[in-house]
Structure 1
Amino acid sequence: MAPKIFIDGEHGTTGLQIRTLLADRRNVEVISVPADKRKDRDARAEFLNAADIAILCLPDDAAKESVSLIENDTTRVIDASTAHRVAEGWTYGFPELDAAQMDAVRAAKRVANPGCWPQGPIAMLRPLVTAGLLPADYPVTVNGISGYSGGGRPMMEDYVEKGSAAPGFLPYGLSLKHKHVPEIRAYAKLGHDPIMQPAVGNFAQGMITVVPLQLGHLSRVPTGAEMHEAIADHYAGLGGGVVEVAPLAEIERSDEINPEIYNGTNRMRLHVFANDQRAQALLVAVYDNLGKGASGAAVQNMDLMLGL
């Protein structure tokens, strides 16, 4: 009998994408609360406890409530909200984090799906900090651009309504209190909070995240080749991952640095650009904010947990 998957919040952006990704799958069975009982707490509890894996596509408080409704020791959880990403007892659902993380996800009962914005910076910074090429107290800055689907239904509706009149580049998070900062700090192994300056563009999905590096003040300045090698070696040693590293190249621009190039997939491609004479570098990650960032990541974790 196929494992039962319950998507709590299946009518939101992430939930709908997960349903689409699972629509033609025959090795899982998606179970759903009847439409007229979607907000019925008892009905949700029944389905949460009937599922082999519950995928939570909900706001933080609602996700915490859903976890509290699970009364058995068999339902496993993938939470796509921010609620449990740095919480004790939860496994971080970025299988490429290190050599042990894929097995940790396979064995976990509670998996916290990563945020879309943190995955790129973590994917690039963690191998450098682990290799000793960047100190943990390095003053990290993260910027980039994401499609408007990353802002949830209100932002999506606003952008669709405005059409071509919507902003092509809209910075946000200007209070410097972005909810993803603790996640980046924890899993990139940073000693203090990074500055995060996200922006949204007038396209539905896809994203680029960038970490600029001023290296001249370090006691030992790494070269671009050394940083590229450390990142490439990290991912070369992982089987079954979906993160790849582009060849090191000295270029002015590339068609591959396009936020929409991997839309509809859970691929992530990392680039290292450096000027050794100036002791400067740019780390660039390109991926789909819904693919590797949310829905696709949830399905990747589900497959690992079920051994599929």
Structure 2
Amino acid sequence: MNKVYIDGQSGTTGLEIVKRLQDRSDIKLLMIPEDKRKDVETRKEYLNSADLVFLCLPDKASVEAVSLITNSNVKVIDASTAHRTVWTYGFSELGYKDKIASSQYVANPGCHASGCISILYPLIQKGLVNQTEQFSFFSLTGYSGGGKNMIYQYENEKTIDLEAPRIYGLNQYHKHLPEIKKVCGLEKDVFLNPIVCDYYRGMAVSLNVEMDYEKIYLVLKDWYRDSTLIQVEKTDLGMISANTMAGLDCMKLIVSGNSKMCTITSLFDNLGKGACGAAIQNMNIMLGFEEVEGLNIE
């Protein structure tokens, strides 16, 4: 039975992965004692005794954790941004499944990046847009994406400014931008307007392009035709809610607009396909399980 260890199991992502894996009978979840979780020697022992390790840590701590792994048989999934432009990128629907399966080190995608890349990568690969263009994304997220401190603030110390959507990443140096540029092979930096709102979980990432929305729809529908976790729909009516996919590990792309202008919106859960669900999906691939084993898809 494969042994799995989560380094950083007390954080938002770590706790979510623990909750999802603790009842699985096809793995053995290694749980470090609470009073030893910051002890380097104990961590090193756990890191090297597992078949697969999740790193749910800040960037600097993730780099340190990797340096503690001396067992070449240990597979690693890093949920931080530390290795996203260096390691195998953990987004199987881009055609990366075989590479993920054969890799020792996999970088789990960022939540905003997952939305952006799910839209832009296929359009570039199919020649509908050019890698030399500059793109601008609008991204809504629930406050759980900000981690424990932000969750506590919204749920226990809410001030009037938290009742309205808040734009951040104002310097256009958001930590997810490098992976979007690298994975999509872009020549120019991407604009990203991330917005955190007063709801717990769920994301809506949108891109506007000057093109017939039917053409965009057909290309995206064909790209994801074999995907279990990503569906493509079209509509030019009603409204789109950012928490539509809350609690699920799948993603939905909504194509809307008219014959001249198109908006593509990627809907998913920031803790699902945007973090923990994607990490477990990658674990399944790396350990030889069914890709959707243990995922919430309905």
- With the shorter chain as reference, the TM-score category is over 0.9
Aligned: 1:176 with 2:172: yes
2:5 matched to which residue of 1? 6
Whole-angstrom CA distance in 1 between matches of 2:94 and 2:157? 39
Secondary structure of 2:163's counterpart equals coil
TM-score (norm 1): 0.90
Q: What is the total number of aligned residue pairs between the two structures?
A: 288
CA apart distance, 1:163: 4.4
Kindly report structure 1 stretches of 4+ aligned residues shifted beyond 2 Å: 162-168
Whole-angstrom CA distance in 2 between matches of 1:210 and 1:262? 15
Correspondent of 1:294 among 268, 275, 284: 275
1:109 matched to which residue of 2? 104
1:36 matched to which residue of 2? 35
Secondary structure of 1:204's counterpart equals coil
Aligned: 1:199 with 2:191: no
CA apart distance, 1:117: 0.4
TM-score (norm 2): 0.93
Whole-angstrom CA distance in 1 between matches of 2:98 and 2:51? 19
Aligned-pair Cα RMSD in Å: 1.3
Task: Using the aligned pairs only, state the percent identity.
Answer: 40
The correspondence of residues 258-273 of structure 1 with structure 2, limited to 5 A, is 258-273=241-256
The correspondence of residues 7-86 of structure 1 with structure 2, limited to 5 A, is 7-86=6-85
Unaligned runs of 5+ in 1: 216-221
2:125 matched to which residue of 1? 130
Secondary structure of 2:128's counterpart equals coil
Query: Once the two structures are superposed, what CA deviation does each residue of 1:85-137 show, in whole Å capped at 9, x if it has no partner?
Result: 001xx110011112xx1111111110000000011111111111111111112
Whole-angstrom CA distance in 1 between matches of 2:31 and 2:122? 40
Whole-angstrom CA distance in 2 between matches of 1:57 and 1:23? 16
Query: Once the two structures are superposed, what CA deviation does each residue of 1:228-281 show, in whole Å capped at 9, x if it has no partner?
Result: 111111111x35x411111x3322x23xx22222222111000111222xx321
CA apart distance, 1:205: 1.0
Contact 1:121 1:188 in 2 (8 A): no
Residue 5 of structure 2 aligns with an amino acid whose one-letter code is F
Residue 286 of structure 1 aligns with an amino acid whose one-letter code is L
The correspondence of residues 228-307 of structure 1 with structure 2, limited to 5 A, is 228-236=217-225, 238-239=226-227, 241-246=228-233, 248-251=234-237, 253-254=238-239, 257-276=240-259, 279-307=260-288
1:218 matched to which residue of 2? none
Which deviates more, 164-173 or 291-300? 164-173
Secondary structure of 1:96's counterpart equals helix
